[in-house]
Structure 1
Amino acid sequence: MSKICSFQIREKGYNEKSIKEVVAFMQESSSAEENPFAEEISFQLTQRSCMAEECEENIVYGMALYRGTALEGEVADISSHRSVVERLMELCRRNGVTETTLFDVVEDFLD
């Protein structure tokens, strides 16, 4: 996944059911471990300047996933709209997104 401003969100009727389906699919399709420690996962909003030349003056928002105090994953520039990333983080919290599924969930959210 590239970290440039072309990752701006296009509003496409995204809803909570969609993210639940993606998370369920990723958890079933990965021969991954069960996640008995889901309560330890937290998300934090990140903010930085856009890395692409054409938008370096803009602020972009992303999110970081922590398991306890350890940073387990981060997607740096999801949107220039803070509220969009806050909504995505809330959906991830409620639906048990883990470090294993984070990048796929964000990618599907952006598509």
Structure 2
Amino acid sequence: MVLVTSGVSVMVAPPAFPSTAFPSERYAFKNVKIGGAGFVSGIVFSRAQKDLACARADVGGVYQWNGAASMWAPLLDWVGWDNWGDRHQWGAPARRSPVTRRSAAACA
């Protein structure tokens, strides 16, 4: 870079930044609990099975209550950016069967 002031040219070198090395080990990404963000737009309770419920969230998430672990298990977290449109739902079925495209479509 050349700096010109009062007719005098001065050569200025850009600042040197230390190089940062990236860690060599792989990082395992996991689900994160976020409190107070977003909202649940509906919860469906099963009439046939005790402690079975399904909830839908405002950003396309569907969650099933896991009574044994006392937590909500995400059902559509496997959907990536390439299939983001598959996350939209208007209802959520409360059943213990495996989640498939068809059962997720029942949420759509």
Tell me the TM-score normalized by structure 2: 0.33
Structure number with the bigger relative contact order (C-alpha 8 A, sep ≥ 6) is 1
Greater radius of gyration (CA): 2
Structure with the higher helix share, 1 or 2: 1
Tell me the TM-score normalized by structure 1: 0.32
